[in-house]
Amino acid sequence: MSAALLSVRDLRVHFKVRGEGGLFPQHRTLKAVDGVTFDLQPGETLGIVGESGCGKSTLARALLNLIPATSGDIAWMGRDMKGASRDDWQQVRRSVQMVFQDPLASLNPRMNVAQIIGEPLRTHQPQLPGDEVLRQVKEMLGRVGLSETHLYRYPHEFSGGQCQRIGIARALILKPRLIVCDEPVSALDVSIQAQIINLLQDLQRELGLALIFIAHDLAVVKHVSQRILVMYLGRTMEIAPKQALYADPKHPYTRALLSAVPLADPRRERAKAIQVLPSELPSPLDPPSGCVFRTRCPQAFERCPREVPPLLEAGASRAACWLYG
């Protein structure tokens, strides 16, 4: 196996939240990301899934230091980024770019398409002459399925799918090694979702990109990913190759998520049993002791409240569950 493009070890992102009431309210800790570990290989797609509020987007931003990590290690192409300066991170961001969830909100409404896509070049390669910047912008527009006639239009003149194509072009203009996609199709119509996913996969094959693809739709993640990481309340519940996770999910939470994925066959869809999780999602300000999933787990037993389970080997998967301890 080749050296990892990105290595993450025990990454934590905690926030201090002001308490309520009294003259001297105590601060509480919100553990948005609480000990996530994974490696990403060159050209690989890692899917990250989980319910809203599980820490997926916070993790994505911490990987680029858009949110500072509380603790843990991030290594980019073998380079440890702990204590890295702002200039060091600026160099890394030339090779790691991001595509955001809301395509229109991620584009500056006061800039036209040529300015939006060319902005990373002007920031990271200021020595490039204007005609070379324009040439590269035109080339990238063609790669994402837009034409030169769109160059001097503004974001409000485009559909959501077209805006996302512009965002992808902006992310790719620096020829990065990794694209972090933070729910890039959740705000789009189903037919447009398929077009954007196919575009990302075509560009990945053409340019040799690695992808981190964050979503809550497991059907979409199955289509694009080689490996999948399942999160719950900031922690990793399971990480496994795609085939293993969908064929034989190990963690009770993964099984519950997969039971809710619609099936194309109507008879199988009517016959399947959906695992409805009891109770509400606990507050990340007051997570359960031990295994954070235990209050909703149908298989919880006496060890679960006492100890936090590490990722344990479970066939081709690794699951944070004492069933495999």
Residue-wise pLDDT for 65-108, tens only, equals: 999 999 999 999 989 998 889 889 988 888 999 999 888 889 99
Assign domain 6-95+176-324 to its CATH architecture. 3-Layer(aba) Sandwich (3.40)
Say how far apart CA 80 and CA 5 lie, in whole Å: 12
Instruction: Decide: 105 and 45 in contact? Cβ < 8 Å.
Output: no
pLDDT in the model for residue 243 = 94
Q: What is the DSSP string of 172-216?
A: HTT--SEEEEESTTTTS-HHHHHHHHHHHHHHHHHHT-EEEEE-S
pLDDT in the model for residue 13 = 97
Phi, psi of 7 (to 5 degrees): -120, 130
- Residue-wise pLDDT for 206-241, tens only, equals 999 999 999 988 888 988 999 999 999 999 999 999
Instruction: Decide: 308 and 290 in contact? Cβ < 8 Å.
Output: yes
Amino acid at 44: E
Instruction: Decide: 73 and 82 in contact? Cβ < 8 Å.
Output: yes
- Residue-wise pLDDT for 131-155, tens only, equals 999 999 999 999 999 999 999 999 9
> What b/e sequence results for 80-117 when a residue is b if at least 16 CB atoms lie within 10 Å of its CB, and e otherwise?
ebeebeeeeeeebbeebbbbbbbbbebbeeeebbbbbb
